[in-house]
Chains A and B, each alone.
Chain A
Amino acid sequence: GESVGLHLPTLSVQEGDNSIINCAYSNSASDYFIWYKQESGKGPQFIIDIRSNMDKRQGQRVTVLLNKTVKHLSLQIAATQPGDSAVYFCAENGAGGFKTIFGAGTRLFVKA
């Protein structure tokens, strides 16, 4: 079946370094991709999104890259801070449906 997956379940980075979280998706019909951040005890929160007609989108300290050729999505966090410690989910949506498909999540640890 269609799925969205993550390459690494955990990622540990030093404070101040850049973080890269990767995601593979398998539904070539998906046209909208979102990254969510979930802090402990909270619901997921939107970070950044990208549509399939783009290959890069930048926000504040975050960048999402989309490679449709290999069905790969990544989230880059610049100058990672302790407050970035959380679980990050990639998600895909589209193909005319209401369903958003989530990956399993990557836990980011930021070492001080």
Chain B
Amino acid sequence: DVKVTQSSRYLVKRTGEKVFLECVQDMDHENMFWYRQDPGLGLRLIYFSYDVKMKEKGDIPEGYSVSREKKERFSLILESASTNQTSMYLCASNPSETGELFFGEGSRLTVL
């Protein structure tokens, strides 16, 4: 079975803290994505990566950065968490430019 694993299902952080969300896929996919999911807004793309050490901004990159040092791992970083970053974060991967996305279970972040 294909698998995308997000290391933390639930996190509670304080305003100003640095937050790392980790994602690992075992499918040897080239592409990895970070989405944010908020009620009524669907999924919005934060960043994506099409190769190791490559990254591209999505639709809402402000306040976030990413790291892809290894093909299987894609990390989302909140340098200084703010309350408006309270959300569900979803990592996904796929092997081609178009095609279905394989999602992790999500990481629900609460920033107090």
Q: Is B27 an interface residue (CB 8 A)?
A: no
Q: A86 contacts which chain B residues (CB < 8 A)?
A: none
Q: A102 contacts which chain B residues (CB < 8 A)?
A: 35, 42-44
Residue-wise, chain B 40-72 has the 8 Å CB interface mask toward A (1 for contact) of 111111001010000010110000000000000
Given contacts A89-B43, A98-B56, A103-B42, contact A42 B101 (CB under 8 A): no
Residue-wise, chain A 15-37 has the 8 Å CB interface mask toward B (1 for contact) of 00000000000000001101010
Question: B40, B42, B48, B104: which contacts A43 (Cβ < 8 A)?
Answer: B104
Name the distance in Å between B77's Cβ and chain A's nearest Cβ.
Answer: 20
Most A CB atoms within 10 A — which of B50, B58, B101? Answer: B101
- B100 engages A43 (CB within 8 Å): no
From 1 to 53 in chain B, residues with beta carbon under 8 angstroms from any chain A beta carbon are: 4, 31, 33, 35, 40-45, 48, 50
Q: Is A41 an interface residue (CB 8 A)?
A: yes
**A-B contacts, CB under 8 A, total:** 56
Name the distance in Å between A52's Cβ and chain B's nearest Cβ.
Answer: 11
Q: Is B98 an interface residue (CB 8 A)?
A: yes
Name the distance in Å between A73's Cβ and chain B's nearest Cβ.
Answer: 14
Chain B residue at smallest Cβ distance from A34: B100
Name the distance in Å between B25's Cβ and chain A's nearest Cβ.
Answer: 12
* A-side interface residues, number (CB < 8 Å): 25
Q: A45 contacts which chain B residues (CB < 8 A)?
A: 103
| Docked pose: A103 CA to B100 CA in angstroms | 15
| Docked pose: A16 CA to B103 CA in angstroms | 29
Q: B98 contacts which chain A residues (CB < 8 A)?
A: 31-32, 93-94
Q: Is B81 an interface residue (CB 8 A)?
A: no
Binding site for A on B (CB under 8 A): 4, 31, 33, 35, 40-45, 48, 50, 56, 58-59, 90, 92, 97-106
Binding site for B on A (CB under 8 A): 4, 9, 31-32, 34, 36, 41-46, 49, 89, 93-94, 96-100, 102-105
16 A-B contact pairs sorted by A residue (CB < 8 Å): A4-B42, A31-B98, A32-B98, A32-B99, A43-B4, A43-B103, A44-B101, A89-B42, A94-B98, A96-B97, A98-B50, A98-B97, A99-B48, A99-B58, A103-B42, A104-B41
